[in-house]
Structure 1
Amino acid sequence: MDLINKYIKENKIQYFISVLFAILGVISNLFVYIILSKVIVSLIDGNQDYNYYMQKIFLIFSCLLVKEIFMSLSTAISHKIAYQIIRDIRKNLMEKLFKMPLGDILNESTGKLKDIIVNQVDNTETTLAHIIPEMTANLVGPLILFIYMLVLDYRLSLISLIPLFIGGIFMSGPMKRMKVKFPQAVKIGQDMNNSIVEYINGIEVIKTFNQGEKSYKKYSENVYKKANYYYNWMGENTRDYAISMSIAPVGILTIIPFGLYFCMKGSLDGGVFLTLIILSFGTIQNIMRVMTFEDDIGRISTIFGEIKNILNSRELYHKDDNSEIKNYNIELKNVDFSYEKDIQVINNLNINIKEGSSNALVGESGSGKSTIAKLIAGFWDVDNGSISIGNVDIKSMSLEKLSNIISYVSQDNFLFDMSIMENIRIGNRSASDKEIIEVCKKSACHDFIMNLSEGYETRVGEAGSLLSGGERQRISIARAMIKNAPIIILDEATSYIDPENEALIQDAISELVRGKTLIIIAHRLNTITNVDKIFVIKNGYLADQGSHDELLQSSEDYHNLWETALKGEKND
C-alpha cells in the first residue's frame, strides 16, 4: 500500500478538504435523525405548538441541503484528484517503459500491459475518488452519533450493534475470497486480452491458413473462462452477501425487545427509547455504506501490486554527467551481452567506428548484428564491457540525450495512427510543413503521399496498417532524415522496398547519412559494398573486418556470405 500512499500524500491537502467536506455532509445528514427523533418525542408528549414543528421541518430541510452541498463539493474535489492521479500513474508507467530494457518489455504480453495500463489503472478511480473521502466520512459520522447514543443509554446502544456484528461475520467470507480470487481473475482477464490481441494481429495468417476455427476457439475459451470464473465466484458470495445485508441493518430487532424490557423496569425513559430507535437507523445506514466498498478495498492491493511491479522493474542504467561529446566515434570494448542468463549472445566484442564513416554489420541470421545495433542505441545495457560515443560511456548519458544523437531505422518501424505529417514530425517537433515536404521529396515519399486521399494529412491507421511495408519504411526514413541526428543506424531499413524504388531510397539514404556516422545491417550485401568498413559477426564474435574487396580476399566467412547473396540474386 506504500504506492497508493505515495500518490495520496502528493495530494494530501486536496484530500483533506474532500474528507472534511464529506464528514460535514455525513454529520449534516445525521442531524436529520436527531431532529426527527425530537419531533416524534414531542408529538408523543402532546406538544401542539405548530411553529415548533415548522422550525424543525425547516432545520431538517436545511440539514439535507447542507449535506448535498458538502457531499457535492467533496465528490467534485475527490474526482478531480482521482483523475489527476490516474493521469500521473499512466504517465509514470509510460516513462518507466521508456527506461526499461527493450527485452523486458517484449517479454511481457501486450494483453497484460494493456490490461494494467488501461483497465487496472481505471479501476483505481473508485478507491481514489470514493473510498477515501466517503468511507472516512461514513465511519467518522456514525462514530460521533454512536458516542451520542452511548451518552443517552450505553446498554441499548451496544445491543443495537449485535446484528451489525453478526452481519460482519458473514461478510468476512467474501472479503477473504477477494484476496484469493481477484488476483486470479486479473490473470484470467489478461489471458483473454492476449487471445484477443493475438486473434486480431494474426487475422491475416488465420485467413491464409484457414485457422479461423482453431484461433477463434482459443479466444472464445478464454472469454468463457473469464465469464464462468466470475459466475462461480459471485455464486459463492451470494449467500453470504444476502445473509449479511439482511441481518446487519436490522438493529431494531434487538433494540425494541431490550428497550421495552428496560422501560418496563423503569431504567429507561420512553423518549430516550424512541430517540435511540431512530438514531440507530442513521448509524447503521452509514456503516452499511462502508460495507459496500468491500469489493473495492479487497482488490485495490492487487491492482496497485500490478502497477508497482512495472514501476519497480529494472531500468537501463543511465545517468547524465554532462560530459561533452567532442566527436561521434563509437567504441565497443570487451562487450558481453545475453538476453537470458547462461545464453551468451555477444562475446567479448571489440569494434571501433570512426566519426563520419559508413559501416556495415553482416553475418548469418541470429549472429547478433541487430543486437549490437540495439546495444549502441541504448535499448539494452551490456552485461560486461562498455560502449562509448566520443569517449563518453553511453551509460553516462541520459536516455533522452542518447536518443537525440542517434536515428534508428528498422525494418519494422512503427507508425502511429495519425497523419503522415505528424508521424514524420515526431523526428523533429519544431520542423515546419515545408521542411517535412522537402525531406519527403528526398526520401521518395512525396509522390505516393500526394496520391493519397488527403495527402500529408492522411491518417496511416493503427501501426501504419493503411500503408504498404515499403511506404511505411520510406516514411520512417523521412522521419530519421528530419531528426538530423549525427549517428544513423539502419537495421534492414530497405527490406520492404520494391526494386523499382530501391535506387531512389538508396539515394535518399546517401542524402541522409552525408557527413554522419553510419551503421548498416543488411542481408543484401550488394547494398553495402561501398561502405568504409564491414564487420563480420559470427555467433556474437567479431570474425573479421575490412572493406568489401579486402574481405573477399581474406575472410572465408564473408566470402561464403557473398557467394550465398549472389546465388539468391540469380534465383530472384
Structure 2
Amino acid sequence: MDLIKQYVNKRKGSYFLSVILAIIGVVAGLFSYVYMAKIIVNILEGISDISIYKSLCLMILLLFVIKEIAAGISTSISHTATFNSLGEIRNDISKKLFKMPLGDVLSRSSGELKNIIIEQVDSMETSLAHLVPEFTANLVGPVLLFIYMFTLDWRLTLLSLIPFVVGMATMMSVMNAHYKEMFGKSVAIGQHMNNSIVEYINGIEVIKTFNQSESSYKKYADAVYNNASFYYNWMGESMNRVAIGRLLSPMGIITIIPFGILFYINGSIDLGNLITLIVLSFATVSSILKIMNYMDDMSRISTITSEIGKILDSRELENEEKGISEKDYSIKLENIEFSYEEDKKVIDDISFDINPNSVSALVGPSGSGKSTLAKLIAGFWNVDKGNIKIGGVDTRHMSLEKLSSLISFVSQDNFLFDMSIKENIRIGKKDASDEEIIEVCKKSACHDFIMNLSDGYDTKVGEGGGHLSGGERQRISIARAMLKDAPIIILDEATSYIDPENEALIQNALANLVAGKTLLIIAHRLKTVTDADKIFVINNGKLDAEGSHEELLKSSSLYKEMYESSLRGEENA
C-alpha cells in the first residue's frame, strides 16, 4: 500500500477533487431515497395535491442529475490521474531495469517481467481509479445517511444494521491470512503460465525441428490447466461464505419491519418515519455493499505492489556522477574480482592496462570469463572488488549515461527492435538525420542490401530482427554503433554469425567503426586478433598471460595451443 500512496500523493490534488465529487454523487443518490420515501408516505396519507408530487419528483430528478454528473467528472479525473500514475510506474520500472546489474535483470524470465510490467501494473487501475474515490464516497455517503436515520429513530437504525454486520463478518472471514497466501500463490502460478507460454512461442522452431511438439505442448497446456484449476478450487472454497454474506447483508428489512410495526403499534414511531426508515435501510446497505466489490482489490493489492516493489527496490549499479573528466580513453583494471553467485568467483584478481587509441584483445577457453570482463568494463555489472578506470576516472564515479556515451558494445547477438531499419540505427544517436544514417550504412556495408528490401530504410525488421539474416543484423548493429561514435569500442565475438562471403564486408565495416578508437576485441578465432597491440589471455577467471601475438607464442603455452588449434580448425573447415 505504501507504493500506491507514493504515486497517489504525487497527484493528490486530482484524487482529492475526484473524492469530493464522488462523495457529492453518492450523497445525492442516497438522499433521493428520502424524497422517494416522502412520496410513499404522502400516498399512504391520502394527499392528492399533484403539485407536491411534482416538486418531489423534480427534486429526485435533480439529485439523480447531480449524481451522474458528479460521478462522471470524478471518474474522468481519477482515470486521468491513474493512467498517468501507471505510466509513471512503468517508466520507473524501465529506468530501474537500466540501473540494475545486467545479471539481476537476466535472472528474471521475460514472462515474469512481462507479467509484472503489463498485467500487474494494469491490475492496479481498479485500485487507483475506483478504490480511492468510490470506496471513500460509498463509505462517507452512508455514514451521513445513517446520521439522518438516527434523527428519525435510533432504535430502528441500529436494528437495521444487525443483518448487515452478520453478513459482513461472514464475508470478511474469507479475507484472512489464508486469502493473502492464496493470492500470492496465484501470482506465482500465473507467472509460471506466462513463462511457459513465452518459452513455447520462442522455442517453436526447435520444437518443430526435433519433433517435440507433444511434450512441449503438454508443458504449456499443463501450466494453463494448473492455473485454471487453482482458481477454480480457490474460488470454490471461498464463494460459499461470500454468497451467504451477500445474502444476509441487505436483509435489514427482516429486523426493521417486525420491530417497526411493534413500535408503531405502541405509538413510539409515526408511520412517516417508519416508511422512511424502511426505504433508507435499502439505500444505505446497497451503497455499503458496493464497498465489498473493492475488498478483493484491497486484499490482493499488497501482493501486487510487493512484486512491483521487488523491482523498484532492487539493488542498483553503484554509479554516482562525480563530475571528474577523463584525461584520455585508456582502460585500467585493478585487482578485479567478480561473482555471479556468492563464493563462486568468475573473475579472480585481474589487473591490466589498455592504452588509448590501441587495439587489444581478450582470448581464452570458452567460459574463461572474457565476455564477463568486457561487460564489467561496459558497466553492465559493478565489480565485487577492485576498480575499473577510464582515463583515470573510476567508472563508478560516472553516471550510467556518461559511461554509456563512452562505450559502444557490439556483441554476437545484438538485439534489433520490431521497427524500421532507420529507427533501429537511430538508437545510436536519437537526433541523427536520414543523411547521417545513410552515410554510416554505406560505411558499414549495409546500404546496398537495405535498398534492395521492399521498403528500403523503412522496412520493419520483425521481432528481434527476425526478418533479416544474421549477417544483415550484424551489419545494422555495426552501423548503429558507428552512428553513436563512442571513443571506446568493445567487440564481443562480433563476427561469429558471419558467413565467409560476407566476412570481408564486415571486416571493412569494423575497420571503419574502430578507426582512431580504443578497441577491445573478444574472439575465439585467434587469427582475427594477431595484429592487436596487446593480447590478454584469460583462463579460469585469471590473467594467464599478456603481450603481442609473437610474444605470447613464445611465453604462453595456452595461447600457443589455442592458436594452433584455431589454425587446424580453419584448415579442416
Q: 1:192 — aligned with what? A: 193
Cα separation, 2, equivalents of 1:468 and 1:502: 14
Q: 2:268 — aligned with what? A: 267
Q: 1:146 — aligned with what? A: 146
RMSD between aligned alpha carbons?
Answer: 0.9
Q: 2:15 — aligned with what? A: 15
Tell whether 2:403 aligns with 1:405.
no
Secondary structure at 2:340's aligned position in 1? Answer: strand
Q: 1:500 — aligned with what? A: 501
Q: 1:38 — aligned with what? A: 38
Deviates more, 1:32-41 or 1:403-412: 32-41
Cα separation, 1, equivalents of 2:304 and 2:81: 18
Cα separation, 2, equivalents of 1:2 and 1:76: 24
Deviation at 1:268, TM superposition (A): 1.5
Cα separation, 1, equivalents of 2:501 and 2:443: 16
Deviates more, 1:36-45 or 1:103-112: 36-45
Cα separation, 2, equivalents of 1:496 and 1:232: 50
Does structure 2 retain, via aligned residues, the 8 Å contact 1:460–1:467?
A: yes
Runs of 4+ in 1 over 3 A off after TM superposition: none
Aligned pairs for 1:61-460 within 5 A: 61-176=61-176, 177-460=178-461
Does structure 2 retain, via aligned residues, the 8 Å contact 1:25–1:67?
A: yes
Deviations 1:429-470 (A, max 9, x none): 121111111111111111211121111111000011111111
Cα separation, 2, equivalents of 1:429 and 1:102: 23
Q: Give 2:557's aligned amino acid.
A: E
Deviations 1:455-490 (A, max 9, x none): 111100001111111111111111000100000000
Deviates more, 1:415-424 or 1:296-305: 296-305
Cα separation, 2, equivalents of 1:380 and 1:393: 14
Cα separation, 2, equivalents of 1:299 and 1:455: 49
Cα separation, 1, equivalents of 2:265 and 2:88: 62
Does structure 2 retain, via aligned residues, the 8 Å contact 1:100–1:316?
A: yes
Cα separation, 2, equivalents of 1:416 and 1:386: 34
Cα separation, 1, equivalents of 2:141 and 2:214: 58
Q: 2:468 — aligned with what? A: 467
Deviation at 1:531, TM superposition (A): 1.1
Does structure 2 retain, via aligned residues, the 8 Å contact 1:139–1:287?
A: yes
Q: Which runs of 5+ in 2 are unaligned?
A: none
Does structure 2 retain, via aligned residues, the 8 Å contact 1:173–1:237?
A: no
Secondary structure at 1:161's aligned position in 2? Answer: helix
Secondary structure at 2:352's aligned position in 1? Answer: strand
Deviations 1:403-439 (A, max 9, x none): 0110000001000000001000000112111111111
Q: Give 1:121's aligned amino acid.
A: V
Does structure 2 retain, via aligned residues, the 8 Å contact 1:86–1:121?
A: yes
Deviation at 1:103, TM superposition (A): 0.4
Q: Paired residues, what number?
A: 572
Deviation at 1:368, TM superposition (A): 0.5
Deviation at 1:265, TM superposition (A): 1.8
Deviation at 1:45, TM superposition (A): 2.3
Deviation at 1:297, TM superposition (A): 1.4
Secondary structure at 2:320's aligned position in 1? Answer: coil
Q: Give 1:569's aligned amino acid.
A: E
Q: Give 1:461's aligned amino acid.
A: G
Deviations 1:82-116 (A, max 9, x none): 10010000000000000000001111111111100
Q: Give 1:431's aligned amino acid.
A: A
Deviation at 1:161, TM superposition (A): 0.6
Deviation at 1:238, TM superposition (A): 2.3
Cα separation, 2, equivalents of 1:290 and 1:513: 64
Q: Give 2:325's aligned amino acid.
A: E
Cα separation, 2, equivalents of 1:269 and 1:321: 80
Q: Give 1:162's aligned amino acid.
A: I
Identity of aligned residues (%): 59
Deviation at 1:216, TM superposition (A): 0.5
Cα separation, 1, equivalents of 2:172 and 2:36: 34
Deviation at 1:267, TM superposition (A): 1.4
Cα separation, 2, equivalents of 1:149 and 1:546: 92
Cα separation, 1, equivalents of 2:286 and 2:350: 71
Q: Give 2:201's aligned amino acid.
A: I
Cα separation, 1, equivalents of 2:195 and 2:399: 33
Deviation at 1:241, TM superposition (A): 2.2
Q: Give 2:217's aligned amino acid.
A: Y
Q: Give 1:104's aligned amino acid.
A: D
Cα separation, 1, equivalents of 2:238 and 2:384: 51
Cα separation, 2, equivalents of 1:548 and 1:180: 61
Secondary structure at 1:123's aligned position in 2? Answer: helix
Does structure 2 retain, via aligned residues, the 8 Å contact 1:178–1:295?
A: no
Cα separation, 1, equivalents of 2:399 and 2:547: 33
Cα separation, 2, equivalents of 1:413 and 1:173: 53
Cα separation, 2, equivalents of 1:330 and 1:118: 40
Q: Which runs of 5+ in 1 are unaligned?
A: none
Secondary structure at 2:174's aligned position in 1? Answer: helix
Deviation at 1:153, TM superposition (A): 0.8
Q: Give 1:66's aligned amino acid.
A: I
Deviation at 1:281, TM superposition (A): 1.1
Deviations 1:341-384 (A, max 9, x none): 01001111101001100000000001110000000000000000
Deviates more, 1:392-401 or 1:431-440: 431-440
Deviation at 1:178, TM superposition (A): 3.0
Deviations 1:112-133 (A, max 9, x none): 1110000000000000000110
Deviation at 1:47, TM superposition (A): 2.0
Secondary structure at 2:537's aligned position in 1? Answer: strand
Deviation at 1:511, TM superposition (A): 1.1
Deviates more, 1:450-459 or 1:408-417: 450-459
Tell whether 2:541 aligns with 1:540.
yes
TM-score by length of 2: 0.99
Secondary structure at 2:285's aligned position in 1? Answer: helix
Cα separation, 2, equivalents of 1:2 and 1:546: 56
Aligned pairs for 1:488-527 within 5 A: 488-527=489-528
Deviates more, 1:173-182 or 1:203-212: 173-182
